[in-house]
Structure 1
Amino acid sequence: MPLVQKLERPDLTLSFVAVDDADRVTRDLKPGEVRLRARRDSHDEAAALAPASADEAREVGAALTRLARDLRAASVQVAATPHAAALAGAALSAAWQDARYRAPADRPELTLALDDLSSADAARLTGLHAGVTFARTLTSAPANVMNPATLAREARTLETLGLDVDVWDGPDITARGMGLLAAVAAGSTHGPRLIRVTIPARGEATHTLALVGKGITFDTGGYSMKPPAGMYGMKNDMGGAAAVLGAMRALADLRAHIPEGTEVRAYVAAAENMVGPDAMRPGDIYRAANGLNVEVTNTDAEGRLVLADTLTVACQEGATELVDLATLTGVKISALGNDIAALFSSDPGLTDRLKAAAQAAGELVWELPLHQPYLKAFRKGTLADLKNSDMQPAGGSIKAALFLQQFVTRPWAHLDIAGNAARDENATGWGVGTLVEYVLAR
């Protein structure tokens, strides 16, 4: 959906009404609702209550896109509102559809204009939308199209925007001592990839922010195999990787706003968790990049393994602060549902910055504790330093975060986005907005 400053002859206009000014058509309007008010020869007119907050404006933006689609409108003009950026961002997001695998549809592309959207806000929204779209396109692709090698190729397209992209394959990963990432990928004919994307700092680098994403392009569960209902949709298990790559795509357009002296790096651990002759088995022990030995008790708890090695490498390469995103634990969905991500953090300042970034992006997070006594369950009954699961769902999201914490030596935060990355089988790009706001405000 193109975003422009003004339309000469829009197909659909949206005006805002106050409760006291409601007429017969708009009398029962609810906050966030958009209603068709009149159909004229030249254009259609819609109305909504003036949004009282950015969240209400986002609801209006999504509803406006749905109405425009129903009316087959090709252009929409929106009246002035103090929450124009939030409304436009939601409208852009709602307009996205993955039509790569469907027959061509006779549907016009929608153009959006808002009366008081500044050129600076428009440029920021356009960059952010490019990043969200990139993330959604990656996540939405089926696993027979998106594997570790093709994900790396997609990441390399960011080089055309001036970003530095480095990719390591299986032998390189083994040479770097990343035994956990190599073990997860061992059952697949597609070898693992470690992807690093860098936006160099302007001037001397004083901070290096590492954005780390879980990139399991398909997760069968390995020998701890998922049931059929749980396996369908596991192409979305690389939603964290897509989010960090999408954030880098957005920041490529917005790099002038990255604070001076801040280098941004995205790290993606890409692998398929499959069954095969060389696949890891329950009871196998592997050495991690930081020297710890990990016993695999549950091959379906693979995300924490690939993240552990990648967090270690990011710390070794000088990251001063780390944020990882991962569709990590099903029990997170039981606790917080699909709208809210679980936030774990070792640093109060980083926690506050991420909460503020999520609020600015219109994405919801809720902090959960790193309750250290729970880690004892991963140290009992094993020959290794740690096991990757105690096979008990109680406190599972907390225990997974505690496992990851053993592989970081810098201020770090973990966002468990299980359930957030896709909604009704549609990729959301969740996390791109939060990461972009976090970097730009750093």
Structure 2
Amino acid sequence: MQLMTGLEQADLTLTFLSGEAADLPAQVTRNLKPGAVRLLSRGAEGDVAVALPPTDAAEARELGEALVKLATDLGARAVRVEETPHADALTLAALAAGDRDARYRAEARPGPAEFAVEGLSGANRARVEAVAAGVRFARELVNAPANLLNPVTLAREARTLEALGADVDIWDGTEIEARGMGLLAAVAAGSATGPRLIRVTLPARGEVTRVLALVGKGITFDTGGYSIKPAAGMTTMKGDMGGAAAVLGTMRALAAARDLLPEGVEVRAYVPAAENMVGPHAMRPGDIYRAANGKTVEVVNTDAEGRLILADALAVACDEGATELVDVATLTGAKVTALGNDVAALYSTDADLTARLQASAEASGEFVWEMPLHAPYLKAFQKDTLADLRNSDMVPAGGSIKAALFLREFVTRPWAHLDIAGNAMKDGQATGWGVGTLTGYVLGR
């Protein structure tokens, strides 16, 4: 679906209730809820739908999704929206809902082709178009099946960002081992493709004053290793690189909106990529490996692999001069138990960083909830081991908190962790969750 500057003729127009609502049929306006769209009239000049004006970005996102569903049901190809608050969030949600991934179908599914929102122009429009492109990139990465997307092909997709002015470096297994990233190498040892470390850099405008590092978990498929998952738990594991997709999608958006980057800010993405497989060289429970920062980790549970590869990437990002870090990962089932699939868990060592991420998430209509870094829980990963840390205590209670505390052991700068388990996919389709939040965070919105 293409974002248009305007439409002379629309098949479907969305209008909003105002003081003239009394003139509308009661059966249309009665019990109309925020975020819902209702068909008002049909005619030769186009259909008209009505909704309540959104009061926040979350409602606007619901409206965008509901509007595209109605347009698809009606067969509308061109959709227009009257000027409204939170037009950015509504537009992004509509574009995402209308962007149907047809790469693996014999025929594309029908839906709206053109979309326009009155009053959306200038820098706002440019930013919306950039974020929409980033969301699309992230969704396509997550939707790709594991027989097509592995660490090698993920790195190849990241290379496409060079056409937009980004610098892309790829480390293979030899360089990863040379850099001391023993945890990433261990996780990938059971896979024929081996590991990759993908580093994407957007140089600063002017002298560098801050380096923001975005780190995304890139497990392109997770069998659980020798701590193997049950069949039902493995079917969606192509999406275990949702954090990597969010980070790369953000870099795609920022590359397209370079003029909006704050002066002096360099942005780097670090994506440790691996498949967690079973094989003759795969890591085993009880194995001990050394991380990039020198700490040793005993692998108690090979299915707690995401924290291992993130640990190495976080350590490298700090070593290379990052002044602030945000990592994003489909990390723990405990997060889903605590917050469900709509709300991401936010852990942070810095109150200002926390506030900026929360504000950006709210403006994007994406939900985050701050969780505690309860330090005593880390003791469960420090006892009964010959290493500095264990990667699990095999106790689900508090699992998301303990995973975040594990990661904190590998950072030396202000840092935030977003556990997005459950957020990256919905109804079997990628969501692109996180691109809006991370882009807004970098741009200072």
- Residue of structure 1 equivalent to 2:15: 15
Q: Out of 155, 159, 164, which is 2:162 matched to? A: 159
TM-score (norm 2): 0.97
- Residue of structure 2 equivalent to 1:5: 5
Taking the aligned partners of 1:353 and 1:173, their CA distance within structure 2 comes to: 33
Look up the equivalent residue of 1:241 and give its one-letter code. Answer: A
Higher mean alpha-carbon deviation, 321-330 vs 108-117, is at 108-117
CA distance 1:256–1:198, shift in 2 (3 Å): same
Taking the aligned partners of 1:301 and 1:160, their CA distance within structure 2 comes to: 35
Q: Out of 371, 374, 377, which is 2:374 matched to? A: 371
Contact 1:13 1:78 in 2 (8 A): yes
Q: Out of 356, 372, 395, which is 1:392 matched to? A: 395
Contact 1:25 1:37 in 2 (8 A): no
- Residue of structure 2 equivalent to 1:100: 103
Taking the aligned partners of 2:292 and 2:85, their CA distance within structure 1 comes to: 50
Taking the aligned partners of 1:385 and 1:106, their CA distance within structure 2 comes to: 53
Look up the equivalent residue of 1:6 and give its one-letter code. Answer: G
Q: Indicate yes or no: 2:202 matched with 1:199.
A: yes
- Residue of structure 2 equivalent to 1:43: 46
Taking the aligned partners of 1:356 and 1:336, their CA distance within structure 2 comes to: 19
Q: Indicate yes or no: 2:227 matched with 1:212.
A: no
Q: Count the aligned residue pairs.
A: 442
Contact 2:72 2:112 in 1 (8 A): no
Look up the equivalent residue of 1:252 and give its one-letter code. Answer: A
Alignment map for 1:108-187 (pairs within 5 Å): 109-187=112-190
CA distance 1:430–1:106, shift in 2 (3 Å): closer
- Residue of structure 2 equivalent to 1:297: 300
- The runs of at least 4 consecutive aligned structure 1 residues that moved more than 4 Å come to none
- Residue of structure 2 equivalent to 1:72: 75
Q: Out of 391, 411, 422, which is 1:419 matched to? A: 422
Residue 83 of structure 1: how far off its partner (Å): 2.6
- Residue of structure 1 equivalent to 2:289: 286
Residue 88 of structure 1: how far off its partner (Å): 1.3
Q: Out of 315, 319, 335, which is 2:318 matched to? A: 315
Look up the equivalent residue of 1:404 and give its one-letter code. Answer: L
- Residue of structure 1 equivalent to 2:241: 238
TM-score (norm 1): 0.98
Residue 78 of structure 1: how far off its partner (Å): 1.3
Contact 2:187 2:274 in 1 (8 A): yes
Taking the aligned partners of 1:350 and 1:84, their CA distance within structure 2 comes to: 26
- Residue of structure 2 equivalent to 1:27: 29
Deviations 1:345-391 (A, max 9, x none): 01111111111111111111111111111111111101111110011
CA distance 1:420–1:320, shift in 2 (3 Å): same
Higher mean alpha-carbon deviation, 136-145 vs 119-128, is at 119-128
Q: Out of 87, 90, 97, which is 2:90 matched to? A: 87
Higher mean alpha-carbon deviation, 242-251 vs 35-44, is at 35-44
User: SS state of the match for residue 26, structure 1?
Assistant: helix
CA distance 1:81–1:21, shift in 2 (3 Å): farther
Identity of aligned residues (%): 69
Taking the aligned partners of 1:44 and 1:358, their CA distance within structure 2 comes to: 33
Taking the aligned partners of 2:360 and 2:177, their CA distance within structure 1 comes to: 36
Contact 1:34 1:46 in 2 (8 A): yes
Contact 2:2 2:113 in 1 (8 A): yes
Contact 2:58 2:366 in 1 (8 A): no
Taking the aligned partners of 1:364 and 1:431, their CA distance within structure 2 comes to: 10
Considering only aligned residues, what root-mean-square deviation do their CA atoms show, in Å? 1.2
For structure 1, the residue ranges without an aligned partner over 5 or more in a row are none
Taking the aligned partners of 1:79 and 1:326, their CA distance within structure 2 comes to: 37
Contact 2:343 2:368 in 1 (8 A): yes
Residue 284 of structure 1: how far off its partner (Å): 0.4
Look up the equivalent residue of 1:356 and give its one-letter code. Answer: A
Taking the aligned partners of 1:425 and 1:121, their CA distance within structure 2 comes to: 31
Contact 2:334 2:396 in 1 (8 A): yes
User: SS state of the match for residue 198, structure 2?
Assistant: strand
